[in-house]
Chains A and B, each alone.
Chain A
């Protein structure tokens, strides 16, 4: 009985599956490529992930019949470019890539569309559960999905294991310990090796790193009721500590150092520590560009206080959005969901140094572990602590960062005290928020 039942069940299942497959094939023939011949215009940011997408475009066209015109510009130029087109209502771009800090502003100005309905209809590439939740979250505004994360990163502390061992330094867990470690390195190496290097350039570059100090010392950019919080003692202490360690134990020229200069200095083995984006790990561990591959230890961003208002490591996510003025929103959605699908993300690891995948499956893949195993654990820990509000996400975010950046730059250059510089930034930020 048991056996017969089993057989009959098996037969039944097979028939059912066969029927299902037949129906689905029938549907698929009609619906497989409903957008054949459509041509999408896509604006993306220059990055290894974008390179991987570009290389795989023929796969997308083969699967959907949709052609893609891909325009790639540097990150700093991408937002002005899309904003001009959005505000003119030109419909020039169907899909745009932008950082999470812009999502609120875009939604508020109705530049991008909610995707839930299209996602239910055309879900062949889309698997909501495969995204790292922290990456997907910024794309959800008032319960609606406005984009999908293409790449993401956090920040962590990178240090020279060999030097730390030689000089008997423990891995810093607070910003005071960073300063002590930097001092030891500078003294014991007779000034040959820089204690710590960080980005100090005016604007987002300096603010992106200083924000670790701000959050880690119990400060924040905004108060709970949306006012500027830069005139607090915590913020002042954070800026004083940040500027002091760089002025005393940092490299010459730190006030004009951006991501690239900072990364190169560390890769060349001229500094014992740096605090920067997790993507730097991929550069550190590449022997072709780094003289310190294999010698680097990775640790979470320090925290000084026991009661931070938010995590001290960043959470930068770049997302793909469908423009409101697009005439081909369904096709645009297919591109967005394909470019962020786990298949494409796993494939991207084969073609490009893409350590910023947003797919859990890609992160657990063998290729990822082999290449980025050295810092995977620290990166995941930083991501778990990653602060989605690390850089403010209000519509005026850029202006707030700009004003804070001037304060950071002034104190770093030694022209103003931290309290005065932040008071000024605070007033400007409040004015911007009320405008």
Chain B
């Protein structure tokens, strides 16, 4: 049957139409905002200022640096979480006592409220009385200024993010691992394949799609990461943890410069979309595209 004659069109078309109209309206409003100079604290009226906000963003060193930090964070968070996630999932795929308990416990970080997770890590990383520096002192390592040293702070937040979101990858990978036919793996082992070859030639190819999806979701989430940064460092010290997302927030809700904040957000959306398109086009297995 030709698709236009499919009677279900009467159900899905209005919904798609409504969603499309909403997105279009919001996008148009966002663009309108970017072309004006709306500031909640300004006593001057709203004026049309053309592309000035975009010019300002292009020459804004703070925005450029923030974008670089976002890229670094996304790259590191996504890759480490995916690699670590597979490793843990494979480990948990064996049979051992208490497996169910371990599986339940490993999900705790993911379901924890980000604010609680952020505060917990902030206190763990506290340079004076934090648990981590205490443990380090037991093995004779001098206290590390985790959140107060600009060259360390971003990685401290990264550790918290990895702790919180690796379980997500574990969860997806475990679900897929359970669908891999055991006889396939056993047949390979009988033929004398080493464990490494089994993992490399059988298990990983089967996990490929899942991992592609997991990496995609984690990458998108990392671009949007906000709560951990806000709770743990607020972008400091010396701007060392200010991502593009956090910068946009500061411009909007500290400076109340709504138009410029929208410009930053729109720019980030465009960059993310382009990056993800390129990524899915070249790096993802066919099934996901």
User: Contacts A203-B234, A254-B148 known; A402 to B255 CB distance under 8 Å?
Assistant: yes
Q: Residues of A contacting B250 with CB < 8 Å?
A: 402
Q: Which residues of A contact B153 (CB under 8 A)?
A: 256
Mask: chain B, 229-242; 1 = CB below 8 Å from A; 0 = not = 00001111111100
Contact A413 B128 (CB under 8 A): no
Q: Which residue of B lies closest to A86 (CB)?
A: B40
State whether A261 and B126 are in contact (beta carbons under 8 Å apart), knowing that A203-B236, A413-B240 are contacts in the complex: yes
Q: Does B150 contact A (CB under 8 A)?
A: yes
* Contact between chains at A200 and B40 (CB < 8 Å): no
Q: Does A257 contact B (CB under 8 A)?
A: yes
Contact with B along A247-289 (1 / 0, CB 8 A): 0000111111100010001001010000000000000000000
Whether, in the assembled complex, B149 has its beta carbon less than 8 Å from a beta carbon of chain A, the answer is yes
B254 interface hit (Cβ, 8 Å): yes
Note all chain A residues with C-beta closer than 8 A to B39: 435
B150 & A415 in contact (Cβ 8 Å cutoff): yes
B contact residues around A201 at 8 Å (CB): 234, 236-237
Please tell me if the beta carbons of A253 and B147 are within 8 angstroms of each other in the complex.
yes
Asked if A13 is at the interface (CB within 8 A of a chain B CB), the reply is no
Whether the pair A412, B145 counts as a contact (CB closer than 8 A) is no
A252 and B255: CB pair below 8 A?
Answer: no
* Contact indicator A253/B255 (Cβ below 8 Å): no
Asked if B4 is an interface residue, CB under 8 A from chain A, the answer is no
Q: Is the CB of A108 within 8 A of B43?
A: yes
A435 & B42 in contact (Cβ 8 Å cutoff):
yes
Binds B, one of A323-331, A355-363, A391-399: A391-399
A409 lies within 8 A of B145 (CB)? no
Cα separation A257 to B43 with both chains bound (whole Å): 35
A415 touches B254 (CB 8 A): no
Is the CB–CB distance between A415 and B238 below 8 Å? Answer: yes
| 13 extra A-B contacts, CB within 8 A, seeds A109-B40, A255-B147, A268-B129 | A83-B256, A201-B237, A202-B237, A202-B238, A202-B239, A203-B235, A253-B145, A255-B150, A256-B148, A256-B153, A413-B148, A413-B240, A435-B39
Identify the B interface with A (CB < 8 A).
37, 39-43, 126-129, 143, 145-150, 153, 233-240, 250, 252-257
Specify which of A108, A252, A254 is in contact with B143 (CB 8 Å cutoff).
A252
Please give, as numbers and ranges, the residues of chain A lying within 8 Å of B148 by CB-CB distance: 200, 252-257, 413
Given known pairs A252-B143, A256-B153, the reply for A413 and B237 (CB within 8 Å) is yes
Known: A253-B127, A255-B145. A416 touches B253 (CB 8 A): no
With a cutoff of 8 Å between Cβ atoms, the chain B residues found around residue A251 in the complex are: 127-128
Q: Which residues of A contact B146 (CB under 8 A)?
A: 253
Main SS of the interface on chain A? Answer: helix
List of A residues within 8 angstroms of B150 by Cβ: 255, 413, 415
Task: Let me know if B145 and A105 touch, CB within 8 A.
Answer: no
Q: Which A residues between 142 and 201 are near B, CB-CB below 8 angstroms? A: 200-201
Report A-chain residues with C-beta under 8 Å of the C-beta of B257: 399, 435
- Give bound CA distance, A410 to B240, whole Å: 9
Q: Taking A395-B42, A435-B42 as contacts, is the C-beta distance between A413 and B149 under 8 angstroms?
A: yes
Q: Most A CB atoms within 10 A — which of B236, B240, B252, B256?
A: B236
A80 at the interface (CB under 8 A from B): yes
Q: Min CB distance, B149 to chain A, in Å? A: 7
- Give me 29 A-to-B residue pairs in the complex whose CB atoms sit less than 8 angstroms apart, sorted by A's number: A80-B252, A83-B41, A109-B42, A202-B233, A202-B238, A203-B236, A203-B254, A251-B128, A252-B127, A252-B128, A252-B148, A253-B127, A253-B145, A253-B147, A255-B149, A256-B233, A261-B126, A265-B128, A270-B128, A395-B43, A396-B41, A399-B254, A402-B255, A406-B239, A410-B237, A410-B238, A413-B148, A413-B149, A415-B238
**Contact with B237, one of A79, A83, A409 (Cβ below 8 angstroms):** A409
Residues of A within 8 A of B237 (CB): 200-202, 255-256, 409-410, 412-413
Interface residue A87 (Cβ < 8 Å from any Cβ of B): yes
